[in-house]
Amino acid sequence: MSATLISLGHTTSRIIDAEQAQFAADTAAISCVLANQDQSREIAKSFAEQNYGQLLQIEIGVERCVTVVESRTVVRRAVALSVRGFDLPTLQR
């Protein structure tokens, strides 16, 4: 019985970490696309940290930003696009 409760606790914690990491990656990618090209990296890092994540990797393109964020032990990736001034939601991968 106690092993089941411990396992359930670990699973729940992992799910919460995964959601937190994905949210941080999404906000970092969207903020990167919306920011000026010169400030994109700093702003994405700031948004990731505000959402309890650590920005591990960022790829900044002209109308595209890819972020990889870690929250505790979970790593998530998000892609945000901007097409002719119209910002699109992130594409989770």
Better-scored residue on pLDDT, 4 or 43: 43
Better-scored residue on pLDDT, 63 or 1: 63
pLDDT digits (tens, 9 = 90+) for 13-63: 889 999 999 999 999 999 998 887 788 899 999 999 999 999 999 999 888
Q: Which own/partner pairs from 87-92 qualify as long-range (CB within 8 Å, at least 24 positions apart)?
A: 87/30, 87/33, 87/34, 89/30, 90/25, 90/26, 90/29, 90/30, 92/22, 92/26
CATH architecture of 2-92: 2-Layer Sandwich (3.30)
Better-scored residue on pLDDT, 2 or 87: 2
Q: Locate the domains of the chain by residue range.
A: 2-92
Question: Which two three-digit tokens encode residue 33?
Answer: 């696309």
CA 52 to chain centre: 10
